Structure 1
Amino acid sequence: MRFMMLMLPAGYAKATPDTRPDPDAVAKMMVYNKSLQQAGVLLALDGLHPASAGARVTTVDGKVKVNDGPFAEAKEVVGGYWMIDVSSRDEAIAWASRCPLAAGDTIEIRQVFEMADFPAEVQKAADGFQDPRQTAA
């Protein structure tokens, strides 16, 4: 089962575009990341620039609208993620619980849909789409 663990750092919604992580915090996180890797459960991970350096693309009345960050209504923003492959939700929670979080940080855990999770009509609608994980070499 694949799970995405989303890092929601405290205060990151108000971070300026030039905000970078603290080297000591990164060193602690690398120990955690290596433990995921050594256990064979880590599929991918990345840190994300602050929302203030991002953009949101929406559709309003059929027209594309682009809003540059920061986003006034944001209370929590994703600062990074891990994609892991574990046997259960409980195992994903156990891994998230080991993360060296700073005060106020949160990890949100979300299971990734597999095609087999969908009814036949949804699978048929997606028929012919090649999974990029299977085509990357």
Structure 2
Amino acid sequence: MPKFMFLQFVDESKSPRPGTPEMQAEIDAYGKLFQDANTAGILRGGDACQPTAAGFSVQVKGGRTETTNGATVSGSRWLNGYWVFDCKDRDDAIQWAAKIPAADGGTVEVHPIFEM
């Protein structure tokens, strides 16, 4: 079955803070998603990402390695998680992407994985 990577982007400034009822509701929503995906036998991996300030970018220019701390995309759009699911086809991937809590108010990019 084809694999698809789901990249979820949200507005970091609007993300619920740890310890709040809103954060617990989000944790519960992801718990249900993962339970459903595991029951369907399609979840292959994934995880949440730390805030943009913890990230960094690496580029090689003229043989020199350069790093940049923080997000390289301006604004508050934050890659806050990724998931790999086995999906039958594009339509199946769309249905699963719509179940990811970040899709409500954020964006879920879906990329078919080229298996080597």
TM bucket, shorter chain:
0.7 to 0.9
Structure of greater relative contact order (alpha carbons < 8 Å, 6+ residues apart): 2
| Correspondences of 1:100-119 after superposition (within 5 Å) | 100-101=101-102, 103-115=104-116
Q: Percent identity?
A: 28
Alpha-carbon separation, structure 2, partners of 1:7 and 1:67:
22
Query: Unmatched 5+ residue regions in structure 1?
Result: 116-137
Conserved 8 A contact 2:9-2:102: no
**Deviation per residue, 1:53-102 (Å, 9 max, x gap):** 11111122321111111446355331101101121111111111122336
For 1:91, the equivalent position in structure 2 comes to 92
SS of residue paired to 1:6 = strand
CA-atom RMSD in angstroms? 2.3
SS of residue paired to 2:77 = coil
Alpha-carbon separation, structure 2, partners of 1:103 and 1:2:
23
Q: Which has the larger radius of gyration?
A: 1
One-letter amino acid of the structure 2 residue matched with residue 107 of structure 1: V
For 2:59, the equivalent position in structure 1 comes to 58
Structure holding more strand per residue = 2
Conserved 8 A contact 2:97-2:103: no
**Deviation per residue, 1:30-52 (Å, 9 max, x gap):** 11111011111111120010121
Alpha-carbon separation, structure 2, partners of 1:112 and 1:102:
20
Alpha-carbon separation, structure 2, partners of 1:93 and 1:72:
25
Question: Is the deviation greater in 95-104 or in 78-87?
Answer: 95-104
